[in-house]
Amino acid sequence: MGAIERQQSQTIASNYQTDAPVVLFPDDCLRLLGQMPDGSARLVVTSPPYNLGKSYERKGDLDKYLAWQDLVIGECIRVLHPEGSICWQVGNYVHNGEIASRPSMPLDAKQKLVAKYE
């Protein structure tokens, strides 16, 4: 394989393309997911807004946030290949002094990574 062919095979698309090996989409994920056929993604990596009120985001109504996350998770699962994986990065949401439940995900969690910040 020549240098030009290698460069083309490593191209990262910014919109859904059936022949793109990688798509990075820094926008409304539901818009991208809606373009994708069922079972078409071998890997879904996402870091949705945490809804924690950090300086770079707005904190909204918890029920609306969880309902939106359920929609996103459902679409991610729809496009996921049967042998694919989802990497879903979320923060703990504390509401009234308790950690709120995570959005529902009808998949088995194979590994949970926890980061501790001091």
**What does the pLDDT look like over 89-98, one tens digit per residue?**
776 666 677 7
Is 1 inside a domain boundary? Answer: no
Compute the average pLDDT of residues 3-14: 55
Is 12 inside a domain boundary? Answer: no
**Looking at the DSSP assignment, which residues form a beta bridge with residue 86?**
44
Is 4 inside a domain boundary? Answer: no
What pLDDT does 106 receive? 66
CB-side neighbour CA atoms (13 Å) of 36: 26
- Range of the structural domain that residue 66 is part of: 19-118
Rounded to whole angstroms, the Cα distance separating 87 from 47 reads 8
Q: How many CB atoms lie within 10 A of CB 75?
A: 17
* Residue 81 predicted with pLDDT over 90: yes
Domains identified in the chain, total number:
1
Is 8 inside a domain boundary? Answer: no
* pTM beyond 0.85, yes or no: no
Is 37 inside a domain boundary? Answer: yes
Is 2 inside a domain boundary? Answer: no
Q: Which helix (H) or strand (E) holds 23?
A: strand 22-23
Is 52 inside a domain boundary? Answer: yes
What pLDDT does 78 receive? 95
Higher pLDDT, 33 or 24: 33
What pLDDT does 74 receive? 92
Average pLDDT, the chain: 77
The answer to whether 76 and 86 have CB atoms below 8 angstroms apart is yes
Is 5 inside a domain boundary? Answer: no
Q: pLDDT tier at 59 (50, 70, 90 boundaries)? A: confident
* Residue 80 predicted with pLDDT over 90: yes
